[in-house]
Amino acid sequence: MNTWLSLVTDALTRIPGYPSQQRTFFAEALAEPGRYLLVHRDPVPADHAHALLICRTGLFAFRFAEDVPAEFDGLRRHVEATFGKLQFGREKIVAHDAQIVLLVPGEIRRRGDGRFAVAGPGELDRVIRARHRQLRPTRVQAIANTVAHQSAREYDLLEIEDVTPDPPVPALLDRSEVLSPQRDAALEMPFQHWMTFLDPEQEVLVSRTYTGPARIAGPAGTGKTVVALHRMARQAKRSTGRQLYTTFVKTLANCQETYFRRLAPGTEGRVQFAGLHSWAMDFLGQRIAAPKLDPRGADRVFGRVWEQARAVFEDIEPHESYWREEIDRVIKGREIDDLDVYQRAERHGRNGIRLDDDRRAEVWHELYVPYVSEMRKRGISDYSDVIAIALAEIRNEPLPEPYDAVVVDEVQDMTLAGLRLAHAIAGGNGSSPLLLLGDGQQQVYAGGWRMADAGIDLRGRGEVLRVNYRNRRRVWENAAGIDAVNELGDFDDAPGVLLRDADVTLPDGVVRIWRGPDHYLESALVDGIRECGKPLSDIAVLTRTRKEAARLAGALAAVGIAALPLEDYDGTPHPAVKIGTVHRAKGLDFVAVFHPSWSGGGPRTGASRERARLAERQKLVAITRARDFAWLGIRDDRSEIERPS
């Protein structure tokens, strides 16, 4: 028997009230030095843990059971209350992160369901090692000593003379002591752990209860998504109900699912992450027949319609994309199926070009009607059709099993029809468990809406975050200087907070700016990536268009730099540079971001001003994806080449 195991065995013999089989579990929990076990005194109430474990991989609460305890909800509350009292200077333990483990006899076979894990004889050490937390040894010891002090009437810390003791740590740390903040520790960890870092000041939002639809707003980097993920994790550990996280772009949903599974493993069957269109297609496939979604076919159809009608609209706006957006984001996006309704509709976010009744009639008869007619002839649907069909179906027959929570991220990019669908998924009433996350300043799609248009009342159920936790100061300063105001503000029920008005917590940071002709962009980008000093796995190249992303991916491949399209990225660590459009990067974080753009040019009017505003918001989104390093390539073929400043 090795020295450590011998010490553990001796210590366990001094515990009264626990039979040998249960002591065997305790011995496995203490399989290596650096783990601290607190054992509950006999008798143990039904809503208390038999033992608590603090170690490098996190906080654990053990309960001996053959089935899910009837007092499980009380057990969860007691565990969170025990760990929730911990405060180390500015650092507060995230109590809902504690893992409850049911310790079962060998003949019992049961699986965890996300609220708890299950371990039989010989399985506990594997469960402990499987967690992704990495607490510092000194912090582990401090937590153990503090819990022992605060819970001395219930738990005894198992005293084991460590063969390699750590430096002594006081049992109860004074708040006035200067300790390393929790965010500093998170910065030192692998970047994927940073993605779910919850600042102590945000913990109150995780446990806040809402009686109906609610929203969390705030500028880029203020932690809206992180708060929502922790709320979902907390609920998943307290309830077996279903939850849905959805957003306009599927890449964000895929990545956030990866991060969430680290917070709440074992919840795959009841906590769903899906882009709204993907959810709608699955829903329709189960209810009726899923439509034949053909985005490329839709592009070809509209292209032909545009060629026929180009002469009518070129003097107003020559770009085909503007008129396609008019159909997707205004007419279909607002569920308009009648010309009279279209002529009366407010075109939020489209006021750069004002269309009178006659012009709207031309849009209707020359573009919308021919486009819809040809799509029907071909039997194909576009993304707007998918939302419309799903919304009609769920209105006709609501979901038989409601969700306990529906979280909509980057809600400002949804169409009005998409927002209405999300509300309907959550129940469609004043008490629906709908949580909306967003920031009007980060809108990267045309158009807009007001919350009242969707019939959603948020009064008294809103939070506005003002502290930027994501971007280092110099990165934030560069982004904050961008004029990217959205005319609708934040959800129109409360004044928005601009990025430049946020408080910044992370110091330093690096910003490099390159200026030069477009034909030098590839070489400048390659040089910038090689010189930035960041691992390729932590770098993203964010472009305005798919065509530009393909061009730059080819340039990187030509010099041996591997690139992964953002469409294929799910948040799992990957050694390649991530590359894709700003739209695909919404809500994501990277250590370093490279963003090519164009110089601003001269005065703008009408649609050109509208496009310029949208481009500025896209630039803001791109730069604020970076935590430590941002590279901005500004192309102007009239300028000489300037090395990064």
pLDDT 10s digits, 20-75: 889 899 999 998 888 999 999 989 999 999 999 999 888 999 999 988 888 999 99
If you average pLDDT over residues 583-606, what whole number do you get?
83
> Range with the lowest mean pLDDT among 99-103, 182-186, 241-245, 620-624?
182-186
If you average pLDDT over residues 525-554, what whole number do you get?
96
Q: What is the pLDDT of residue 601?
A: 59
- 42 vs 22: CA distance, rounded Å: 13
Is 509-635 assigned to CATH 3.40.50.300?
Answer: yes
Query: In the structure, what pLDDT confidence band is assigned to residue 165 with cuts at 50, 70 and 90?
Result: very low
Q: What is the pLDDT of residue 358?
A: 96
| 612 or 360: which leads in pLDDT | 360
**What percentage of the chain reaches a pLDDT higher than 70?**
89
Query: In the structure, what pLDDT confidence band is assigned to residue 9 with cuts at 50, 70 and 90?
Result: confident
* 58 is annotated as contributing to ligand binding: no
For residue 522, give both structure tokens.
């590839």
* 496 is annotated as contributing to ligand binding: no
Query: In the structure, what pLDDT confidence band is assigned to residue 435 with cuts at 50, 70 and 90?
Result: very high
* 489 is annotated as contributing to ligand binding: no
User: pLDDT at residue 520 above 60?
Assistant: yes
Q: What is the pLDDT of residues 104-114, one digit of tens each?
A: 987 666 777 78
φ/ψ of 602, rounded to 5, equals: -90, -165
Q: What is the largest CA-CA distance in the chain?
A: 91
Domain ranges (residues) in the chain: 1-157, 204-289+399-465, 295-380, 509-635
Kind of pairing, strands 36-40 and 155-157? antiparallel
| Cβ 413 vs Cβ 443: under 8 Å | yes
| Residue 139 neighbours by CB under 8 Å, 6+ apart | 88, 185
Helix 250-263 × helix 276-287 angle, to 10°? 90
User: pLDDT at residue 549 above 90?
Assistant: yes
- 138 vs 142: CA distance, rounded Å: 6
Beta-ladder partners of 509: none
Q: What is the pLDDT of residue 486?
A: 54
| 28 or 641: which leads in pLDDT | 28
| Cβ 622 vs Cβ 580: under 8 Å | no
* 224 is annotated as contributing to ligand binding: yes
Amino acid at 203: E
**What percentage of the chain reaches a pLDDT higher than 90?**
60
User: pLDDT at residue 132 above 70?
Assistant: no
For residue 38, give both structure tokens.
């607190």
If you average pLDDT over residues 349-357, what whole number do you get?
87
If you average pLDDT over residues 443-459, what whole number do you get?
88
Query: In the structure, what pLDDT confidence band is assigned to residue 179 with cuts at 50, 70 and 90?
Result: very low
Query: In the structure, what pLDDT confidence band is assigned to residue 91 with cuts at 50, 70 and 90?
Result: low
| Cβ 634 vs Cβ 598: under 8 Å | yes
Q: What is the pLDDT of residue 95?
A: 82
If you average pLDDT over residues 476-498, what whole number do you get?
69
Q: What is the pLDDT of residue 177?
A: 34
The H-or-E segment that residue 342 falls in is helix 339-344
CA-based Rg of the chain, rounded to a whole angstrom? Answer: 28
* 130 is annotated as contributing to ligand binding: no
* 572 is annotated as contributing to ligand binding: no
| Cβ 230 vs Cβ 206: under 8 Å | yes
If you average pLDDT over residues 226-241, what whole number do you get?
92
Mean pLDDT of the chain: 87
Query: In the structure, what pLDDT confidence band is assigned to residue 265 with cuts at 50, 70 and 90?
Result: confident
Query: 204-289+399-465 sits in which CATH class?
Result: alpha beta
| Residue 501 neighbours by CB under 8 Å, 6+ apart | 219, 466
If you average pLDDT over residues 386-402, what whole number do you get?
96
For residue 162, how many C-alpha atoms fall within 13 Å in the half-sphere facing its CB? 15
User: pLDDT at residue 164 above 60?
Assistant: no
- Establish whether domains 204-289+399-465 and 509-635 are of one fold: yes
Q: What is the pLDDT of residue 492?
A: 53
Query: In the structure, what pLDDT confidence band is assigned to residue 185 with cuts at 50, 70 and 90?
Result: low
| Cβ 276 vs Cβ 422: under 8 Å | yes
Omega before residue 43 within 30° of 0, cis: yes
8-state DSSP, 211 = S
User: pLDDT at residue 162 above 70?
Assistant: no
| Cβ 96 vs Cβ 206: under 8 Å | yes
For residue 516, the tally of other CB atoms under 10 A from its CB is: 19
For residue 599, the tally of other CB atoms under 10 A from its CB is: 11
Distance, CA of 600 to chain centre: 31
Q: What is the pLDDT of residue 171?
A: 39
Q: What is the pLDDT of residue 130?
A: 83
For residue 356, give both structure tokens.
């009178």
* 222 is annotated as contributing to ligand binding: yes
User: pLDDT at residue 490 above 80?
Assistant: no
* 106 is annotated as contributing to ligand binding: no
For residue 50, the tally of other CB atoms under 10 A from its CB is: 20
If you average pLDDT over residues 476-500, what whole number do you get?
71
